[in-house]
Structures are given as C-alpha cells and as structure tokens.
Amino acid sequence: MERKLFTKNNSSVSIKESQLRSGFIMKTNRIKKTVLAVTLAASMAIPTATLSTAMTAQAASNVPFCADTDNNGAVNIQEDQIYVSRSYYEARSNTISTEITHEVNDLYLDDALFVKSKDNITLQPLARYVLSFIVSGDNLSESDLKGMKLTFVFLTKDNKKIMKIEPSKLEARGKDSYYVSYDFTAYGESVYFYSSYIENLNLNCSSASLTSTLDNDDYYLIEARPADGEKLFIRIKIDESISWNKMEEWAKRNCIYANSLSATTGVKLDTLYMDFDYSDCPYHAISNNKKINGNLDKYGYVAFNEYASQDVRDQIALGRNSITWVEMHEMAHSYACYTSSNFEKNYLFWNSNGTFDEYLTNARGITAIQNCDNLRNTEIVFETVGYSGKYNTMANDVYTHNLNDYKFEFASDLSYFPWEQLEEYFAATSDNDPDLIESKLVAKKINEFIGMDVPLSKNYLKFSNTIRKLMKLNNNGVYDESKFNRFMIEYFSKDLIKGLVKELKFDQEKV
C-alpha cells in the first residue's frame, strides 16, 4: 500500500506504508524533513499529482458520493471516494516585499503613510506564523507604532476573511528605528496585509519577514477530500505511537460525519477547518465559522483546547469506530451556528446567555449520525464521564450523568421524537418563519402553560417557533391548538420550559 507525500512545490512522491510504519519518514527535525521530501521527489521523478484518488474513484463509478442509494431513509457515503493525505508544516523564513503608500482601500491620506504587502502570500492552512519588519522614520517614536494594527486579509478560493491584529512585540533598534512583529494563524490559503496609518512622511520599511513558528514542527496538516462534498483541513499533533492507518480512518470518519451533517441540514460549507491544541480557546472547544468567513455563506471552523485534543488523540490511538462527544458537538454547531442557513435565520438567536443552538446541537449531531448508514455503528464517547453508546441511546444516557442541566435535558427530550421528524426539523426547508401568526399563538400558549407573561420579543418568538415546528411535525404537519398542552406534557415539561425561559432571560427582554 502506498501513501502520497507532498513536497513544498506540491509535487508528490509515493511512500510504501511499511516505510511509514518503520519510521522511514517520521518527523526528525525541520531540515531533515524538507531535504528528505525534496530528495525523494527528485530521485523518483514522480510527476505532480493533478487528479486525486477520490476523483478517480468517482470517475470510474456512477454511484453518487452521498445519497440514499438503498432507499432506507438514510444517506450512504462512498468511503472509497474520500482521499486522505497528510503533510508536515514546512519550515519557513522568507522575505516579503512591502511598500509605503498614502492609499489603502480607497482611503488616501496626504499627511500619513501605510505599510502594505505588494503581493498575496501563500500559506499552509492553520499554520502559525510571525510577520515582522523594521520600520524607521525621522523622529519616529514608540508611541507612533504602539497602536499600529495590521489588517490581514486571508483568502480562500472564493472568499476572504479580514482580521485586525495588534503587535506582539515592539522593540527599538537604534535611533528612529523599531522592530515590530505580529503573531497569527493562517485562516486561509493566502494573505495580504496593510497597516493602520502612521503620521510620519519619512517612513521607511523595505521588506518584511515571514517565519513559521517552532510549534508547527509538532503538527500534521491532514486533508480529507471527497470527490464531491465537504472536505476537512485538520491541524493535529504528531504522535508517533499512533499509526497513520488509525489517523487516516479517524479523518475519513470525521469527513463522513461532516458530509452527513451537510446532507441533514442542507448547509454547504465546502471546507471545515479543525484546529487542535488551540491555546486561545476560551472553553473546552469552540465552533466559530466567522474565523474563516465573515459572510457566513461558506467555510466552517472548530477548535479544541489541549485537554479536548488529548481526549480525541486517546480515542484515535484505540483504533475504534468512535467519535468523541466534543467533536460531534462542535462540528454539529458549524452546520447551523454562524451560517446563513434557514435554520439559523428562523430558530437561533443571540442574547446575553449566548445562542439557543447549545440546546439543539447535540440532537442535531446525533440525528446526522443516525441519518448515515456509515455511522450507525459508530460509538459516541462522552469523555468527561467515560461513557459511550450508539446514536439511539446516547442523548438520553448522557443526560442521566448531567441532571439539572437544561442543555442536556432538552436534547434528551428531543431524542424521543421519531428520527424522520428530527431530520425534517433540522433541514428547515419549509414553514419556518418565526413571524407567522402561529408562532405568536404558540408563544402565548407557552405563557399559559408555564404560568408566566413573557414578552413576545424577537428571541422568544424564535424559541416558540422551535416548539411550533416540532409540534407540527408531530401532528402530520398541522398546528392544532387543542393538542398543544398534551404535546408539551408528552415531550417536555412545565419545569423544563419554565427553566429555559428564565435561563435564557426571555422574561427580561423587551418587545
């Protein structure tokens, strides 16, 4: 069996699996990795790959990549059409051409100057870099530069993400001269930058330096690329105790899950970025598609802190057909939270307690798992309590370990709905508008049910719309006011709904 190793110039060499296992190309150090890859490419004279294995497989088959091919109500994903590759993050230290200008983005200042890159700079997705330069000017002071933010414009093939970054280091380098550096993560495949304006007409900055950070040495860049569908870019720590076969199967399984989420929700992200050991992660893990695309119409992003990342690696090392709860949860978020989907538009909201998607995302993930024939035997591992189970029991079983947690209780209650109803609910393809008269009627019925007079705010109507849609799906697509109380008692409870209203502070919102 052979694998592909991609070199810096994107040429490829085939390496036997036995060589990989024996450590033939295992990570040693920066120079050795690069020299080895280039030497192999030259000596074996393998041409640059232009057609992936996945694409070739699809061309040879008329079977669609992701479809209900056996008419059982769940999608089947052709695993042989998913190509998984890995590469090392390259050692990089090169000069970037810059220019000094009065004009940036149609803003012209005749009494100030900007520093900007001349060209787009190619990056490796999710790599860490330091951009630095020496800037000088007559009577230039530290205060002139302290607030100098750089605007980084990260580019994917059809989108861009703009981020403003403050200096990570500022040091004097002789009279009127300063060293300035910026730490950043590559949230795209290329970037250009420009500074905020500097009020010094004698400003000089002839070039910048782009250097990859040392910790890149410890990580793989894994790409799981299907012939047609959602692909993954994954940054994950190299662990020589974990065979590549196990890592490859894990990446493929996550790609299958992402594509089932896409099929279930109708959300097309094109690419989901998975960033492990993310030090700036404020929680156990996060989903934030805005990291990659401010327009929210494509591209997703999830990050895991060091503890969540270790939990994932522990599961990969076992070689089981499993997915951790934290992966299931955050990836499910990315297919509703921060997207331009119907579901996000009609059911989700933000208030001081965050988004209601926290109460729905576990059910969405489990629904996507059961809605895919490839995943129905996958174990969902809840790392915190050491519990694992299949899709058909997991939501309720996990809730027993998290009593008095409304998020888990709501997801547990949703698991009592028939799967086809949840699939239709999360797809949100019709009859979802929270401004419907029915939604207002349901909001009033909820008030009556819980004995509160909650204002009919926009957020409360979105929440009520969730209940309205679930009730209609459970009643052959018809809202029947006479059956409302029975529905609420059967699937939820007065205490649960009242607790949600208070926890989400609907009772404090104004109309």
Q: Which residue has the tokens 């299931």?
A: 328
Give dist(CA 247, CA 317) in Å, integer. Answer: 8
Q: Comparing 18-27, 176-185, 362-371, 409-418, which segment has the lowest mean pLDDT?
A: 18-27
Q: What is the DSSP string of 155-193?
A: E-SS-EEEEEE--SEEEE-STTEEEEEEEEE--SSEEEE
Amino acid at 360: L
Q: What is the pLDDT of residue 408?
A: 94
Model confidence over 371-403: pLDDT tens digits?
999 999 999 999 877 889 999 999 999 998 888
Q: Comparing 56-60, 134-138, 163-167, 303-307, which segment has the lowest mean pLDDT?
A: 56-60
Residue 340 has pLDDT above 60, yes or no: yes
Model confidence over 479-500: pLDDT tens digits?
899 999 999 999 999 999 999 9
Query: Dihedrals φ, ψ of 57, to 5°?
Result: -60, -40
Q: Which residue has the tokens 């994932």?
A: 312
Tokens standing for residue 485: 């109380």
Q: What is the pLDDT of residue 21?
A: 33
Give dist(CA 390, CA 376) in Å, integer. Answer: 7
Q: What is the pLDDT of residue 49?
A: 33
Instruction: Quote the pTM value.
Output: 0.86
Residue 454 near residue 507 (C-beta atoms within 8 A): yes
Model confidence over 19-72: pLDDT tens digits?
333 333 333 344 434 433 433 333 223 222 333 444 444 444 678 899 888 888
Tokens standing for residue 245: 């076969």
- The DSSP secondary-structure symbol of 145 reads H
Q: Beta partners for 82?
A: 226
Residue closest to 148 by CA, chosen among 194, 95, 207: 194
Composition of the chain by helix, strand, coil, percent to 5: 40, 25, 35
Q: What is the CA radius of gyration of the chain?
A: 26
Q: Is the dihedral of CA 29, 32, 35, 38 positive or negative?
A: negative
Tokens standing for residue 90: 């390259």
Is residue 78 packed enough to be buried (19+ CB in 10 Å), middle (13-18) or exposed (0-12)? buried
Query: Dihedrals φ, ψ of 77, to 5°?
Result: -110, 130
Residue 7 has pLDDT above 60, yes or no: no
Tokens standing for residue 474: 């459970």
Residue 16 has pLDDT above 90, yes or no: no
Q: Beta partners for 169?
A: 181
Reported as a pLDDT band with limits 50, 70 and 90, residue 299 is very high
Q: Comparing 8-22, 125-139, 194-208, 316-330, which segment has the lowest mean pLDDT?
A: 8-22
Residue 114 near residue 197 (C-beta atoms within 8 A): yes
Q: In terms of DSSP bridges, do strands 150-155 and 160-165 run parallel, antiparallel, or are they unpaired?
A: antiparallel
Measured at the CA of 89, the angle between CA 83 and CA 91, to 5 degrees, comes to 150
Question: Residue 169: left (phi > 0), alpha (psi -120 to 50), or beta?
Answer: beta
Hey, is 210 helix, strand or coil?
A: strand
